[in-house]
C-alpha cells in the first residue's frame, strides 16, 4: 500500500523529498515491469484475414468498420480469444498475431453487436498464455489501471492511468452500456485489448475513445464480458430477456404527479399487447423501481438488467402504481424471438401513424447508428414539430434504434393518442422530440 501511495504521489508530480524514495520507485518500477511481462504474452493482435472466400458472409455491417485491433486470450487450453465485435465485423476468419510475431488464422465463433464483444477460436501447437479475469463490481474510481493493445499497429503497447468514471451510459457506442471510463491512453488498435488492475487481473475490455477529447477511453466491465462470452461460446449468439414496454426517465414533473422521486426508477409509457409485461398486468404510468432486486434509475439501466436475464425466467418487479408499492412477477420472453416475429410481418402490416417514414442507413455509412427519416407528411404533427427528411432517429422511448424493424417494433407498441419520445441527430447535434401517434 505504501509503495502504491508513493507512486500515486509521483504520478501527479508532487513527490516530496523522502528518505529512501529511490528504493520505493525501483520497487514500483519492478512491479510494473513484472505485471507487463506476465500479461503481454496473453494479448494478441487481430486483423482481417484477406483471402478468396474469406470475406463476404460475415457479421452485419453496421456502426464502426472492421479494423485491426487487439484481443485477450482468456482460455489457453481451448484457444479462445475475446475481442470487440467491430474488430471482426464482416469476417469469418481473422489473422491472430501472438507476442513474438507468430501468426495463426482464427475463426470467429460468435459476436454480439449489442455489447461490441466477440469470441475468436485459434488452434496452436505451442502452449498459450491466458489472462485472469477479475471482478469488475469491486473496482472503484481512482484505482490504478494498465491498458495493453496495438495502437496504430504498434504491437505490444502498454499504457498506465486510473479509473476516472464508472457506469458510463448514453455514449451511443452500443445498446447495453455500462462502461468503465479511464484516462489510460487508448487509441485505435487498442480495441479488444484488456484493461488490468495492479494485480494483473482483467477488469475490462477496451472498446472505444472519444475522438474529440483527450484521455477519455471506455472499457466493457469484465463481469459483462464473462456473461456474454459464455453465451457466445455455448450458443454462438446471446439470448436476452424481453419485457415488452416503452419507458421514460422519471422527471421532476412525473415525480410530483406520481408521488415518486426524480431520477428513481423509470415510468412505463407504453405496454406491448401480448408481451410479458402485458400478460403480467403492468400498466402505462407504472414506475419500475427494481428488477430482481436491482435498482433501476434510467432507461439504459433497465435495458441492461433485462437483457442480462435468461429468457423464460420469472423475475419480481418492484413498481410504484398510483403512489402505492407493488411487487409483480413477470416471466420474460426472448428478445430475439420477439424481434424475429415482428421482422416477418409484411411492411403493410407494420404500424406507423407518426406522420413520417423511415429507412435503414446504407451499409458503410459514417453516421452514428439509427434510422433515417425518408419522408415527412405535410401538416402532420411531425412536420409541425420540425422533423425533417434526412434526420437520424437514434432512440425511441429510451430504447436505442439500430434498424427500421426495431423502430417499427417500438412504434407498434404505442397506442393511438399516446406519446413517443425520439432522440434525433441533425448536423452533428442531438435533440429530443415528443410526438403523438395519430392513427
Q: Which residues are part of the catalytic machinery? A: 86, 116, 191
Contacts of 253 (CB under 8 A, 6+ apart): none
C-alpha cell at 294: 436491482
Distance between the two ends of the chain, CA-based, in angstroms? 65
Closest CA to 56 of 88, 91, 87: 91
Helical axes 404-412 vs 335-343, angle rounded to 10°: 100
Q: What is the 3-state secondary structure of 352-393?
A: CCCCEEEEECCCCCCCCCCEEEEEECCCCHHHHCCCCCCCEE
Residue 298: what are its φ and ψ, rounded to 5°? Answer: -160, 160
Helix, strand, or coil here: 300?
helix
d(CA 286, CA 31): 53
CB 316 within 8 A of CB 329: yes
Q: What is the DSSP string of 124-162?
A: -SS-----EE--GGG--TT-EEEEEE-GGG--SEEEEEE
Closest CA to 38 of 187, 165, 174, 198: 198
Helix, strand, or coil here: 271?
strand
CB 270 within 8 A of CB 139: no
Alpha-carbon distance values, 276 to 220, 283, 284, 328, 409 (Å): 29, 12, 14, 11, 15
Amino acid at each position: 500500500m505504501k509503495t502504491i501511495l508513493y507512486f500515486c504521489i509521483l504520478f501527479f508530480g508532487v513527490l516530496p523529498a523522502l528518505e529512501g524514495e529511490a528504493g520505493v520507485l525501483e520497487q514500483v518500477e519492478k512491479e510494473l515491469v513484472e505485471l507487463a511481462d506476465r500479461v503481454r504474452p496473453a494479448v494478441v493482435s487481430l486483423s482481417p484475414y484477406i483471402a478468396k472466400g474469406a470475406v463476404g458472409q460475415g457479421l452485419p455491417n453496421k456502426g464502426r468498420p472492421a479494423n485491426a485491433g487487439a484481443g485477450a486470450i482468456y482460455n489457453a487450453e481451448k484457444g479462445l480469444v475475446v475481442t470487440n465485435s467491430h474488430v471482426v465485423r464482416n469476417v469469418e476468419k481473422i489473422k491472430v498475431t501472438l507476442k513474438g510475431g507468430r501468426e495463426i488464422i482464427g475463426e470467429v465463433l460468435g459476436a454480439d453487436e449489442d455489447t461490441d464483444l466477440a469470441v475468436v477460436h485459434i488452434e496452436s501447437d505451442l502452449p498459450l498464455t491466458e489472462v485472469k479475469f477479475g471482478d469488475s463490481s469491486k473496482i472503484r474510481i481512482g484505482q490504478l489501471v494498465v491498458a495493453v493493445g496495438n495502437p496504430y499497429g504498434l504491437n505490444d503497447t502498454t499504457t498506465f492511468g486510473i479509473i476516472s468514471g464508472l457506469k458510463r451510459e448514453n455514449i451511443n457506442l452500443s445498446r447495453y452500456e455500462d462502461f468503465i471510463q479511464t484516462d489510460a491512453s487508448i487509441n485505435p488498435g487498442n480495441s479488444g485489448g484488456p484493461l488490468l488492475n495492479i494485480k494483473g487481473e482483467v477488469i475490462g475490455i477496451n472498446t472505444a475513445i472519444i475522438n474529440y477529447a483527450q484521455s477519455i477511453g471506455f472499457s466493457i466491465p469484465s463481469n459483462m464480458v464473462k456473461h456474454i462470452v459464455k453465451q457466445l461460446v455455448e450458443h454462438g449468439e446471446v439470448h436476452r430477456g424481453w419485457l415488452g414496454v416503452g419507458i421514460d426517465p422519471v422527471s421532476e414533473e412525473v415525480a410530483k404527479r406520481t408521488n415518486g422521486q426524480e431520477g428513481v426508477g423509470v415510468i412505463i409509457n407504453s405496454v406491448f399487447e401480448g408481451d410479458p409485461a402485458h400478460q403480467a398486468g403492468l400498466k402505462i404510468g407504472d414506475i419500475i423501481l427494481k428488477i430482481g432486486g436491482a435498482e433501476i434509475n434510467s432507461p439504459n439501466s433497465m435495458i441492461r438488467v433485462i437483457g442480462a436475464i435468461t429468457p423464460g425466467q420469472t423475475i419480481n418487479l418492484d413498481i410504484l402504481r398510483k403512489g402505492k408499492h407493488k411487487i409483480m412477477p413477470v416471466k420474460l420472453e426472448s428478445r430475439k424471438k420477439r424481434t424475429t416475429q415482428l421482422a416477418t410481418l409484411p411492411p403493410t402490416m407494420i404500424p406507423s401513424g407518426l406522420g413520417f417514414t423511415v429507412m435503414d442507413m446504407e451499409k458503410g455509412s459514417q453516421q452514428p447508428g439509427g434510422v433515417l427519416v425518408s419522408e415527412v407528411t405535410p401538416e402532420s404533427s411531425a412536420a409541425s414539430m420540425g422533423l425533417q427528411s434526412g434526420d437520424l432517429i437514434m432512440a425511441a422511448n429510451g430504447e436505442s434504434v439500430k434498424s427500421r424493424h426495431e423502430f417499427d417494433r417500438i412504434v407498434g407498441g404505442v397506442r393511438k393518442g399516446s406519446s413517443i419520445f425520439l432522440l434525433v441527430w441533425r448536423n452533428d447535434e442531438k435533440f429530443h422530440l415528443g410526438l403523438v401517434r395519430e392513427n
